[in-house]
Each structure stands twice: as structure tokens, then as C-alpha cells.
Structure 1
Amino acid sequence: MRISETTIAALLLVLGGQQAAWAQDAMGARGPVPPRPIPGVALPEPGALDAPSAGAASLAPSPDAPAAHTALPLVPFSSARDAIRAWMRDSTAGNQAGAVRALEYAAAQGHLTAQFKLGRMYAGGEGVPANDLKAFEYFSKIADENADAIPGTANGRIVGSAFVALGGYFMDGIKGSYVRPNIDRAFDMFHYAASYFGDPEGQYNLGRLYMNGQGTRRDARQAARWMKLSAEKGYAPARAVFGDMLLRGAEGVPRQPVLGLMWLSLARESADPDRETWIIERHDTAFSTASASDRTAALALIERQQVAGARAPQR
């Protein structure tokens, strides 16, 4: 029996797609390979596939695109840059509606900063009604289209932060939407932000997953490694957790109380006193129970670091 060329081509297409997926999964553990496509606007609504059970809450409809906010008509700006100028002007003048309209135009034109700003606004309800699904859509678009942005650049920092935001959404899911809790996808997001973009918040969150064995096996050494990388970049929560790890010691992490107290002191200095009171409390508890010699040695280490930092040439 002869097999037509069309049939052979179809089989190769199917097998090729499957092999590509296997290759991506295999590479994930070896290097900074972009994660698999993020659930976004192309996904069908869950209700279209599964009949909802009686009494189940209805799911929020997925917009046609991340910028599908239609409460305000889009103004025909001449360009994304023109829209950004209008956003700055309207924001300064207190015209929030005009500012949002300008941002949405720029975002629809692919302006990365506008997309990220809108994602943050919808996530926090800043100037717009809080809408986690809209925020997720904006962050997804950024990550899907810019995963190969150059680390260390302004765009790279934006994309890294978008991956971190997606990791947070995958940790908890978004109630009433197709975004379900998925710890494996959260691990993917944090790992990519941490390893490829070097994002300090991503490194901290990845360290937490290793500490708790979420999305991966529990590994105190890996947790300490990522916490240290984040702490060295000044991220206060990572400084506090890394200091606590050294203070207590853990499997594969030798106890170093003086270094632990030093990192806790640095964490307290950089902590937000309103939002990060747990860091201040952890620092105060650690110092109140430490020996006088350990406290003195830790403070001496901090002083030496400050002197060395003051003498370092400015770049």
C-alpha cells in the first residue's frame, strides 16, 4: 500500500512538534531556555471544553488581547512615543482617564514599558479597577514576546520582572478565571527570571521554592545559593532569609552566626519599615539572643564593608 506524500508530511509535522516539546523539557534543567508558552489570550475558555457543574461560579471571559480595555475609546495618537508623552502630560495634570487611554494605545503598539506599567496598575488597582486577569494578560504578552531580551538592559529588567509577576500568579492562580494554581509553572517563571535575567526578586522566590520543596525537591544548598545571589544585590527579604539560614544552619549549609547577624543587619537597614516589619522583628530577635562576641564581630564586619564601599571607585 502506497502512502501519499500528504500523509507523510502530516505525520512528520506531528512528530516534529512532539520532539520539539521533549527537547524543550530536556533543556530546561541545563540552561536558560525560555519556558513553554504561557497560557494567555489564545487559550479557549475552560467552559468551552468542560460543562460547568451546577452552582459553579462563572468564569471571567478572556479578552481578545491584553490591551482589550474598551471602557475608554483609543485616541489616534501619531505613534507610541507620542502616546507616552501624552501619558506623562496627563499624569502630571491629574487626568487619569487620559493617562490610561494613552498607555493603552502605546501598549497596543507594542511599547514594552506601557505594557508593564498597565500590568502593574491593574495588579495593584492604581488608577484603574484592580483586575488580576488583565494584569496577567499584560505580563504574559511581555514574557511571550520578549523572553530573549538582553539581561542587564532596561528592557531585560522589565521582562525579568514580568516573569516574576507571572510566577506569583501561578503560585495562587486567579479566582474565577482560567489561570489555575500551578506550582510547576511558577517554578519555571521564577527560575527563568533568576537564571537568565538575574532578577533579585526572582532569585529570592526561587530560593523559597527550594527551601520548601515546591515545584522541585527540597534543597537547602540551592536555596542558600539563590538567596545569597539576591542578597548581594540588596534585596532585603533575601538578606533576611539568608542571614537566618546562616544563623541557624541547615542541611548542607554550615552554621555561621556572625555572617548571619551581618546579613540580618544589612536586611534591617534596607527594609521598608511599613511593609517589611517581619525583617525588623527577625533582626531584633536574632541580636537579642546572640552572644556579645558574635554581635561585636558582626558589627565589625558591617563597618569594614561600609568603609570598603566608601573607598571603592565610582563608576
Structure 2
Amino acid sequence: NDLLGAIRLFGRSAQKGHEVGEYCFRWGQYHELPPSDITQALRWYTRGARMDHEGCITMLGKLYLALGHQMQALDWLKKVAAPFGVGGQHGNSLAQWLLAEVHFKGGSMREAVRWYKRSAENGDADAMMRLFHVFTKGAVGIPREAARGNFWLLAAAAHGHQE
């Protein structure tokens, strides 16, 4: 399989300390290899995260969420989601989305809206749609605001959202 061969080559590159090789190797392990390699993916993502690699931190948080380790996931995701941190001037929009989803599912709507808004301001059309739904339907602690909801609907459409 060419993909498995590529992952092996990225692994060799990673062992030599090449950052891009490490990231590609970790990505390949997590997304393309059997579940038995999750331990390896955790190891490599953690290694990259300790070097403040934005993609590794985000994927490590996502992997911890998938494994049910919410507190560890939140710690890593917050590191890259916050503005002016590892995730850049505006923070990493995927990490912001993931944090919002955790708070949304946990019932902390104000915190969810805060992270959705940051992600939306970074151009995430899915976050814009989530804000549209939250503001048009209302939620615990979030009043219905049709005008605000429509703003986010139009923004999502402008960013290519298909819904």
C-alpha cells in the first residue's frame, strides 16, 4: 500500500527530527493505521505538542476527546485556542470549535458561545452556523436574538456553508 509506505518514510524523517515529517507521521498513524497504533499516535502527537507544534497540539486534544479524556483534551486545546498563544494571533479555529463543542454538550452555553464566536471570527463557517442556531432558538442563558442569528447565517453563507 503506497499510503503505508509513505507513513513509514515520514516515520524515518521524524526519527531524524524533521518537524514536518513528524507531523505527517503522527497524522498518518492516527488517521490511517489500525486502532492498535493509537498509543504510537499519542506518543508522537505529545512529542510534537511539547515542541509547541500547533497541529500536533490540536490533534492531541482531538485524540484525547475521542478517547474520553476530556480534562487532558481541554488543557491541550486551550493552549492552542487562546489568542496570541501557540495558535497565533487569533488562536486555532479548530481548537476553538472543539472547545465550544465540549461546552455545548456539557450544557455550558455561555462558554460554548464564547468559543464558537472566536472560531467564527477566524472564518469557521460551521461555527457561524452553530451561532445562527443558538441565537435563533435561544438556549439556557442565551436569549433568542433573531438579528444576531441572521448575521451569523449570512456570514456562514458568505463563507461557503451549504446549509
Shorter-normalised TM range: 0.7 to 0.9
Give the paired residue count.
154
Q: In structure 1, what is the equivalent of residue 44 of structure 2?
A: 138
How does the TM-score come out when normalised to structure 2? 0.79
- Equivalent residues in 2 for 1:25-104, closer than 5 Å: 99-104=6-11
Q: In structure 1, what is the equivalent of residue 54 of structure 2?
A: 160
SS of equivalent to 2:123: coil
- Equivalent residues in 2 for 1:166-177, closer than 5 Å: 166-173=60-67
- Highest RCO, 1 vs 2 (Cα 8 Å, sep ≥ 6): 2
1:117 aligns with 2:27: no
Q: Deviations over 1:154-176 (max 9, x none)?
A: xxxxx222222222222232xxx
User: Who wins on radius of gyration, i.e. which is larger?
Assistant: 1
Q: In structure 2, what is the equivalent of residue 204 of structure 1?
A: 97
1:193 aligns with 2:80: yes
SS of equivalent to 1:239: helix
Using the alignment, how far apart are the partners of 1:219 and 1:96 within structure 2?
41
Aligned with residue 155 of structure 2, among 266, 275, 280: 266
1:270/1:136 Cα in 2 relative to 1: closer, same or farther (>3 Å)?
farther
1:212/1:120 Cα in 2 relative to 1: closer, same or farther (>3 Å)?
same
Using the alignment, how far apart are the partners of 2:3 and 2:113 within structure 1?
44
Using the alignment, how far apart are the partners of 1:199 and 1:238 within structure 2?
13
CA contact (8 A) 2:7 2:28 kept: no
CA contact (8 A) 2:8 2:25 kept: no
CA contact (8 A) 2:61 2:77 kept: yes
1:246 aligns with 2:135: yes
CA contact (8 A) 2:7 2:24 kept: no
SS of equivalent to 1:132: helix
Amino acid at match of 2:105: N
Using the alignment, how far apart are the partners of 1:120 and 1:100 within structure 2?
9
> Where does the alignment leave 5 or more consecutive residues of structure 2 unmatched?
none
SS of equivalent to 1:254: coil
Deviation at 1:265, TM superposition (A): 3.9
Deviation at 1:97, TM superposition (A): 6.5
1:256 aligns with 2:163: no
Deviation at 1:203, TM superposition (A): 0.7
Using the alignment, how far apart are the partners of 1:267 and 1:103 within structure 2?
36
Richer in helix (by share): 2
1:226 aligns with 2:125: no
SS of equivalent to 2:14: helix
Using the alignment, how far apart are the partners of 1:209 and 1:96 within structure 2?
32
Amino acid at match of 2:130: V
> Where does the alignment leave 5 or more consecutive residues of structure 1 unmatched?
1-93, 148-158, 174-180, 274-279, 281-315
Deviation at 1:115, TM superposition (A): 1.0
Using the alignment, how far apart are the partners of 1:186 and 1:100 within structure 2?
25
Q: Deviations over 1:266-315 (max 9, x none)?
A: 335534x6xxxxxx2xxxxxxxxxxxxxxxxxxxxxxxxxxxxxxxxxxx
Using the alignment, how far apart are the partners of 1:97 and 1:166 within structure 2?
21
CA contact (8 A) 1:234 1:270 kept: no
The two structures, once aligned, show a CA RMSD in angstroms of: 2.5
